[in-house]
Amino acid sequence: MENNDEIKIEKDDTDWLLDIKKSRAIVGEIFKFGVSQSQMRNIIKMLALELEDREAMLTICKAIEEPEPEPEEQTLLYPGGNNE
């Protein structure tokens, strides 16, 4: 019985490794197109939107959002000058 468990674990490891290999091949094909950083973000977001796990999708989308630039401080201009 113990032998069957060891064989099953090895098969699971093999399946996992084949999935990783296939994923890396897909990424390699994408890089052959010469994608920019913004295109990579778009691809990641589009793939995340296809996930069945909603929480994972939201986490990934939030992680790749580009931060909004800090608004510059605005000064009010008064007629006749800014004498305070």
- 27-51 pLDDT, tens per residue? 999 999 999 999 999 999 999 999 9
| pLDDT, position 61 | 95
| pLDDT, position 40 | 94
CB 60 within 8 A of CB 48: yes
CB 52 within 8 A of CB 33: no
Taking the C-alpha atoms of residue 47 and residue 32, their distance in angstroms, rounded to an integer, is: 18
Which portions of the chain are predicted below pLDDT 70?
1-9, 82-84
Taking the C-alpha atoms of residue 19 and residue 16, their distance in angstroms, rounded to an integer, is: 5
Residue 49: partners with Cβ closer than 8 Å, 6 or more residues away: 57, 61
